[in-house]
């Protein structure tokens, strides 16, 4: 009997071994290696790998471009995530509401989720072509008499920021709506019926029944969207065809990290320092989200325990 039990336990370890090995090699080791490289002057085209301490971080914080990139990253993420969450929440409430009985919910879900299936590079190339100097947007505006001459939208910082925010929202609001709908659909109807019998209105039902029960899913959406927002690269970079953002208006952390790596003989140390700062910022805000949205024990329970 003992041998069989031991064999079963070892058999389970064999199954989880690929995940553990993969995580150590492709998850934990890159984080450690990036942290180690950030304290060196390692480059791609030389053999320099001397320990320089905090020099990379000191240069980073003295560079106004980095502060601009950090500000842009947070602004672009917040400007697309807030309406993304709001509209996704509204759609999820509508589609899961038994009273409304919206027809073709499955088709609507498909239509809203489809932009998330498209490649970001293809979407960026499409919008770059649409808003280029000789693109369809300029042709329609000039021929329609709206503008007297074509406008270089690609070099207009307000237009570019608006396009990045819109594309990020358009690509991800469907995914957020699907996740919220799945969370709301798992709530028992008896809870809603009890709330209605007690005289609760629609907003009160949403606030006191729906929101507390989907809080774990909300934490998941906030954290995953935060991680994706801090890694924003493909859309803002490819939207300008790699020519750089107008007046650094859509310069993000990851774009700056790539630019540092591409210049100065491929300065891996400086790029790694930016990567470490992205990791620290994301971790701090993610922990803050967990802390603010955690389940709090009622005061009566704490007093009884004392």
pLDDT, mean of residues 99-111: 82
User: In the 8-state DSSP scheme, what is residue 295?
Assistant: P
In angstroms, the Cα distances linking 95 to 90, 92, 168, 186 are 9, 5, 23, 13
Residue 40 φ then ψ, to 5°: -125, 170
Q: Among positive and negative, which fits the CA dihedral 200, 201, 206, 210?
A: positive
Q: Which residue has the higher pLDDT, 150 or 12?
A: 150
Residue 74: its pLDDT value, please? 94
Given a cut of 70, is residue 205 above it in pLDDT?
yes
Q: pLDDT tens-digit profile of 14-24? A: 888 999 999 99
Q: pLDDT tens-digit profile of 239-295? A: 876 555 778 888 899 998 988 887 766 788 889 999 999 999 999 999 999 998 887
Residue 81: its pLDDT value, please? 93
Given a cut of 60, is residue 301 above it in pLDDT?
no
Q: Identify whether the C-beta of residue 180 lies closer than 8 Å to the C-beta of residue 214.
A: yes
CB atoms within 10 A of CB 297: 9
Banded model confidence at residue 83, pLDDT cuts 50, 70, 90: very high
Q: Which residue has the higher pLDDT, 241 or 57?
A: 57
pLDDT, mean of residues 153-160: 87
Given a cut of 60, is residue 219 above it in pLDDT?
yes
Residue 297 φ then ψ, to 5°: -75, 140
Rounded Cα gap, residues 209 and 27, in angstroms: 38
Structure tokens at 67: 């502060």
Among 3.30.70.260, 3.90.1170.50, 3.30.930.10, 1.10.3720.10, name the CATH number for the domain at 63-305: 1.10.3720.10
Find, among 128, 153, 118, the residue nearest to 237 by Cα. 128
Helix (H) or strand (E) holding 254: helix 253-262
Given a cut of 60, is residue 157 above it in pLDDT?
yes
Banded model confidence at residue 48, pLDDT cuts 50, 70, 90: confident
Residue 298: its pLDDT value, please? 58
CB atoms within 10 A of CB 17: 10
Q: Which residue has the higher pLDDT, 47 or 58?
A: 58
Given a cut of 80, is residue 221 above it in pLDDT?
yes
Residue 152: its pLDDT value, please? 86
Given a cut of 80, is residue 227 above it in pLDDT?
yes
What is the average pLDDT value for the chain, to the nearest integer? 86
pTM, to two decimals: 0.83
In angstroms, the Cα distances linking 43 to 64, 265, 267, 268 are 23, 6, 4, 5
**Secondary structure (3-state) at 285:** helix
| 64-96 helix and 55-62 helix, angle to the nearest 10 degrees | 80
Residue 9: its pLDDT value, please? 57
> Hunting for tokens 């008499």 — which residue is that?
145
pLDDT, mean of residues 197-205: 85
Q: What percent of the chain has pLDDT over 90?
A: 36
Banded model confidence at residue 304, pLDDT cuts 50, 70, 90: low
């Amino acid at each position: 009997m003992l041998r069989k039990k031991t064999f079963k336990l070892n058999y389970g370890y064999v199954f989880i071994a690929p995940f553990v090995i993969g995580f150590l090699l492709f998850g934990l080791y890159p984080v450690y290696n990036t942290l180690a490289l950030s304290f060196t002057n390692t480059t791609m085209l030389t053999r320099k790998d001397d320990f320089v301490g905090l020099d990379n971080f000191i240069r980073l914080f003295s560079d106004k471009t980095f502060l601009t990139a950090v500000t842009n990253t947070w602004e672009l993420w917040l400007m697309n995530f807030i309406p993304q969450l709001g509209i996704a929440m509204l759609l999820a409430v509508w589609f899961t509401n038994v009273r409304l009985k919206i027809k073709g919910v499955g088709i609507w879900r498909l239509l809203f989720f489809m932009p998330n299936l498209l490649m970001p590079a293809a979407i960026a190339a499409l919008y770059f072509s649409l808003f280029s100097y000789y693109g369809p947007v300029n042709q329609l505006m000039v021929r329609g008499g709206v503008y007297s001459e074509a406008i270089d939208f690609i070099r207009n910082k307000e237009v570019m920021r608006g396009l990045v925010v819109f594309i990020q929202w358009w690509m991800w609001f469907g995914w957020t709506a699907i996740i919220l709908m799945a969370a709301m659909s798992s709530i028992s109807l008896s809870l809603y019926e009890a709330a209605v019998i007690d005289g609760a209105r629609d907003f009160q039902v949403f606030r006191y029944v729906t929101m507390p029960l989907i809080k774990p899913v909300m934490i998941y959406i906030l954290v995953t969207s935060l991680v994706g927002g801090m890694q924003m690269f493909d859309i803002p970079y490819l939207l300008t065809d790699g020519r750089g953002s107008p007046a650094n208006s859509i310069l993000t952390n990851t774009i700056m990290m790539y630019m540092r790596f591409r210049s100065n003989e491929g300065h891996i140390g400086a790029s790694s320092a930016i990567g470490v700062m992205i990791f620290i910022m994301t971790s701090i805000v993610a922990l803050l989200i967990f802390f603010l949205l955690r389940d709090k024990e009622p005061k009566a329970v704490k007093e009884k325990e004392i």
